[in-house]
Amino acid sequence: MRRELMNMNTTIRIAKVTCEVYKSLAPLAIASLRKQNIEHVHAHSRRAVVLREQSTFSFLPTITGLDEDPAEVLEFYLPWSQAEQVLKTVVREVNLSAPGRGSIYAEEVQLRNPEGVDFINSNVTLSGDAQPELILTELASINCVVQRGQGNEIARHALEAGTNVPAISFGLGTGLRNKLGLIRVTIPAEKELVNVIVHAQDRDEIMNALIQAGRLDQPGNGFIGASPVGFGVLNPKTFRGKQRYSASMEQVITAIDQLKTGTEWRKKTVSLQRSDVYLKKSFLHDLLNMTLICNEGKSSDIVNAAISAGAGGATISKIKYSTMTASKHAVSPAREAISMGVSPKSVEAIIHAIEAAGAFGSDTACIVETKPLPLACTYLGK
């Protein structure tokens, strides 16, 4: 039943590809997508965070600070079967296999299109010569929602746990807030969304580290969840500063990846500690991540409908929809993405509720994207 509801327009497997590059490389990435006839793209800005060794005076000990740079995120849906080739072409054309430029990865999602518009890019022009780019597989995307201002702290802990470059975007939290009267203005709604892609084997440990860093199992501190990512190329350039060896760590890693033709060797060998065992118990299992992308201004209606049908709370961020080709679409470029962690049982009810709220009409043009959220954590009350 759920499958039917979700893939109303199509029965093929859908991939959502996320390409995140430093801002000055965005035109290169966009050109590559345009060349491959990727028509529907949702874009937003993030800031990529890396460690920076700061040496003010030579006699002082060096401190490690954070460097924050603007990054552009381009997301698009396409048939799963074509995702790998498109991704490889972008990697080659934007030179993402070189560390320090950006990352690109594909997740399998289920998608429901609004009436009249198909956001799946099915007419992709595949470039013939697929080169053997080194692609990582079995990844996981960790997403963490914290209060505005806490994002860097989470990102720093992720970096210190040895992840690839994390990125932060802005959003607005809603949930209990919406149920209050005007007094809601006293609750800060501004959130930061920290995203980092890790190897599936390292997922639990890094999540534990981040839960501890942000005390996310305590009330009012936020939410963390991890969902599987099929494959991708990540940005391991997490450190800027003096280079003490003839090759940088990133170069060494890339070289070993190529020698071993894979990244299995990178698995962290840290054993679980006692506190992690305690934390394991507070994990939520087998939720779904539901992302609703609708026209700007409609999110409060949709969130209200979703919450009345059983969703707990949501994070809303502003994104921009673009058609790469000249063809005109009725869909507004100003869009909002609503992200929620929901129980699989309530998906159907939520979709019905938002449909009743007019989500799939041309005025709202809401996309429903779901993907598994096998592991999550937040404060669940006493």
Partner 1 sequence: MSDSKASSKVHLTFKQNLDMIKPYVKKRILEQIKSVWLIVLYLIVFQTLILGIPISEASIISVGIILVVAGLTFFMEGLVLGLMPLGEIIGVKLPQKSKLPVILTFSFILGMGATFAEPAVGILQVAGSSVKAWDAPLLFLLLNKYSNYLVYSVGIGVGIAVVFGMLRFLYGWSLKPFLYIMIPGLLAISALAALDPNLIYLTGLAWDCGGVTTGPVTVPLVLALGIGISRIVNKGGDSGSGGFGVVTLASAFPILTVMILGAFFLFSVPKPMAEADFLSSQNRAATVYLFSSPENMTGYVLQNASKNGQLTYFNGDPALMLSSIRQLAQDNQLKKAVFGEKAEAAFSNWALFKATDEQKLAIFGNAEAISKETDRYLASGAKGVDAWELTVRNSVAAVQAIVPLCVFFFLVLWLILRERIPRKDELLLGIAFAVIGMGIFSVGIELGLSKLGGQVGEKLPAAFKSIELADQKTVVRNFDPAVVQTAISDQGVREQFFYLSGDNRYTALTYNPAGFDQASRQYSYVPKKGPLFGATGGMLGILVVLIFAFIMGYGATLAEPALNALGLTVEELTVGTFKKSLLMQAVAIGVGLGIGLGVAKIIWGIPLIWLLAPPYVLLMFITKTCTEEFVNIGWDSAGVTTGPITVPLVLAMGLGIGGQVGVVEGFGILAMASVYPILSVLLVSLWVNRKQKSALQEAAAEIA
> Which residues are 18's β-sheet partners?
75, 105
Contact between 352 and partner 1 per CB under 8 A: no
Contact between 170 and partner 1 per CB under 8 A: yes
Which one of 3-11, 139-147, 281-289, 296-304 is the stretch in contact with partner 1 (CB under 8 A)?
Answer: 296-304
The binder of partner 1 chosen from 83, 324, 342, 347 (CB under 8 A): 324
Which one of 78-86, 123-131, 168-176, 273-281 is the stretch in contact with partner 1 (CB under 8 A)?
Answer: 168-176
Q: Mask 182-221, x = binds partner 1 (CB under 8 A)?
A: xxxxxx----------------------------------
Tell me which residues in 81-120 interact with partner 1 (CB under 8 A): 95, 98-101
* The token pair that represents 224 in the structure block: 């963390």
The binder of partner 1 chosen from 43, 91, 124, 347 (CB under 8 A): 43
CA dihedral 375, 22, 329, 89 (to 10 degrees): -80
Closest CB to partner 1 among 30 and 206? Answer: 30
* The token pair that represents 269 in the structure block: 């060998």
Q: Length of the chain in residues, anyone?
A: 382
3-state secondary structure of 12: coil
Which residue, 279, 284, 276, 282, is CA-closest to 373? 284
Which residue, 163, 165, 168, is CA-closest to 151? 168
Closest CB to partner 1 among 280 and 318? Answer: 318
- Classify strands 223-233 and 102-112 as parallel, antiparallel or unpaired: antiparallel
Which residue, 229, 152, 210, is CA-closest to 377? 210
Which one of 121-129, 257-265, 294-302, 364-372 is the stretch in contact with partner 1 (CB under 8 A)?
Answer: 294-302
* The token pair that represents 112 in the structure block: 């429901």
Contact between 175 and partner 1 per CB under 8 A: no
Q: How many residues bind partner 1 (CB under 8 A)?
A: 67
Tell me which residues in 132-161 interact with partner 1 (CB under 8 A): 151
- At 238, give phi and psi (nearest 5°): -105, 5
Q: CB-side exposure of 99: number of CA atoms within 13 Å?
A: 18
Contact between 74 and partner 1 per CB under 8 A: yes
The binder of partner 1 chosen from 2, 35, 92, 318 (CB under 8 A): 318
Q: Which residue has the tokens 């470029």?
A: 333
* The token pair that represents 277 in the structure block: 């065992």
* Contact positions vs partner 1 (CB under 8 A): 22-27, 30, 33-34, 41, 43-47, 67-70, 72-74, 95, 98-101, 151, 168-170, 176, 178-187, 237, 240, 248, 250-251, 296-297, 300-301, 304-305, 307-308, 318-324, 332-334, 357-358
